[in-house]
């Protein structure tokens, strides 16, 4: 049976020939990196910048997601290892001058391997991160204090001794991110969106004296750069500290320290195919299906379900990377049984009108295994988008969903022999 491939790298509008050279680098090792900067662009500049990024980074085989807006730039990308020197030169000689030499350094992740994105996207957004506020109520130039990872570590370690009270540390990420890792003692709000995080931040700080130092962190720093500016300019807090480069750079720094214990525990959630990078060995979180400790996230392989859930490698194998709900399991199981020739190195292929993606497995857990995502086009998900990240609301406590199998008079699938 012939398979029809559709490219994930669409030519950009206006006939511009954009070709990401990713195919040339398929066997390469990729470095995952990020950079961001709040900076004022005009709308005309944005359109030009977008095409420039697509062309220049595409040339280097770079994949990832870049958002640009009149507020600035936010990039999460993966670069083939052999092109890293070229990217560094491009960053220093082309990008930095565009930001008055004020663009942050490339923030390199702690875990690498296969490509963590499928293609390169540069998207123009109204805001870099949506805060739900009227932007005239705060001043982004009122930047919070950027502590280096070493300063952040030392400040938090000695804070209580020096001031007699515990530091106020706020995790500015969403609930599912802090579920697998956080800074010891941090307040981790139950936030679905950045807007929720901002509301939570305001609630936490509302009754604090304005000279109280506030510490905050997120994955790479961008969310705190904005939140800190809001807290300082709108709520009149004197000093908000963030860790420069976020958990990513702290993780990289702490891994190099021989005499210091990490203040961050667990795993740093990332928004790419790796779904996280390890900072310490501690496993925070439980498999949603069997309840054993697990920090391995997966999306249900049934594309119209797509629940984000913690799932141990055993359950993942047993339930074919699905959430174990019967419709999801049956759809995927049925598809696999047909064993259509749908294996493509990357990107999406169509098999009998079914959308199929191959995803890269998480480096340590799924070494070599390709995850399959399956779903019929046009089939709507039966839970709303936000509860998609709240597996416990959909599946119940660990083990709960497996009772459905008994109720339907079905045996559980056999456990995988070799995970």
Interface residue list for Zn ion (CB under 5 A):
287, 289-290, 300, 302, 305, 312, 315, 323, 328
Q: Return the number of the residue (155 or 390) whose C-beta is nearest Zn ion.
A: 390
Q: Residue 250 belongs to what H/E stretch?
A: helix 246-255
Q: What is the smallest separation between the CB atom of 296 and Zn ion, expressed in angstroms? A: 9
79 included as an active-site residue: no
Q: Return the number of the residue (83 or 315) whose C-beta is nearest Zn ion.
A: 315
Cα 263 to Cα 165, 280, 292: the distances in Å are 17, 10, 24
Q: What is the smallest separation between the CB atom of 335 and Zn ion, expressed in angstroms? A: 13
Query: Is the Cβ–Cβ distance between 3 and 342 less than 8 Å?
Result: yes
Q: What is the smallest separation between the CB atom of 280 and Zn ion, expressed in angstroms? A: 21
SS3 97: helix
188, 218, 312, 323: the active-site residue: 218
Query: Is the Cβ–Cβ distance between 272 and 348 less than 8 Å?
Result: no
Q: Return the number of the residue (51 or 326) whose C-beta is nearest Zn ion.
A: 326
SS3 391: helix
Q: Return the number of the residue (270 or 299) whose C-beta is nearest Zn ion.
A: 299
Q: Cα-atom radius of gyration of the chain, to the nearest Å?
A: 22
**The total number of residues written for the chain in this structure:** 419
SS3 267: strand
Q: Return the number of the residue (249 or 299) whose C-beta is nearest Zn ion.
A: 299
Nearest C-alpha neighbor of 401 from the set 315, 337, 334, 306: 315
Query: Is the Cβ–Cβ distance between 159 and 152 less than 8 Å?
Result: no
Q: What is the smallest separation between the CB atom of 275 and Zn ion, expressed in angstroms? A: 16
In sequence order, the 6+-apart residues with CB closer than 8 A to the CB of 407 are none
Q: What is the smallest separation between the CB atom of 312 and Zn ion, expressed in angstroms? A: 3
296 burial (CB, 10 Å; 0-12 / 13-18 / 19+) is buried
Catalytic positions are 218
């Amino acid at each position: 049976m012939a398979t029809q491939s559709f490219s994930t790298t669409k030519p950009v509008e206006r006939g511009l020939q954009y070709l990401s050279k990713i195919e040339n680098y398929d066997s390469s090792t990729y470095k995952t990196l990020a950079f961001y900067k709040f900076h004022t662009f005009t709308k005309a500049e944005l359109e030009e910048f977008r095409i420039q990024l697509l062309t220049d980074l595409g040339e280097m085989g770079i994949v990832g997601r870049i958002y640009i807006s009149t507020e600035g730039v936010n990039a999460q990308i993966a670069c083939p290892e052999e092109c890293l020197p070229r990217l560094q030169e491009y960053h220093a000689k082309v990008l930095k001058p565009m930001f008055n030499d004020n663009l942050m350094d490339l923030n390199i992740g702690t875990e690498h391997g296969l490509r963590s994105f499928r293609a390169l996207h540069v998207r123009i957004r109204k805001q870099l991160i949506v805060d739900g506020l009227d932007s005239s109520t705060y001043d982004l130039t009122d930047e919070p204090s950027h502590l280096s990872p070493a300063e952040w570590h030392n400040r938090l370690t000695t804070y209580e001794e020096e001031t007699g009270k515990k530091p106020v540390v706020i995790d500015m990420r969403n609930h599912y991110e802090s579920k697998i890792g956080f800074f010891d003692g941090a307040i981790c709000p139950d936030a679905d969106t950045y807007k929720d995080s901002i509301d939570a931040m305001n609630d936490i700080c509302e009754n604090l004296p304005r000279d109280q130092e506030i510490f905050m962190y997120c994955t790479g720093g961008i969310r705190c750069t904005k939140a800190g500016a809001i807290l300082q300019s709108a709520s009149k807090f004197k000093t908000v500290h963030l860790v420069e480069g976020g958990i990513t750079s702290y993780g990289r720094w702490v891994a190099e320290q021989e005499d210091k214990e990490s203040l961050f525990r667990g795993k740093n959630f990332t928004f790419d195919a790796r779904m996280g990078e390890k900072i310490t060995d501690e496993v925070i979180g439980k498999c949603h299906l069997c309840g054993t400790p697990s920090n391995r996230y997966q999306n249900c392989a049934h594309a119209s379900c797509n629940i984000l859930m913690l799932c141990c490698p055993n359950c993942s194998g047993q339930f074919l990377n699905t959430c174990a709900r019967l419709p999801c399991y049956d759809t995927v199981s049925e598809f696999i049984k047909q064993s259509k020739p749908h294996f493509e190195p990357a990107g999406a292929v169509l098999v009998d009108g079914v959308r199929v993606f191959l995803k890269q497995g998480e480096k340590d857990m799924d070494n070599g295994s390709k995850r399959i995502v399956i779903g019929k086009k046009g089939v709507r998900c039966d839970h709303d988008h936000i509860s998609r990240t709240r597996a416990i609301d959909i599946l119940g406590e660990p083990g709960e969903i497996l009772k459905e199998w008994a109720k339907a008079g079905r045996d559980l699938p056999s456990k995988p022999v070799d995970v």
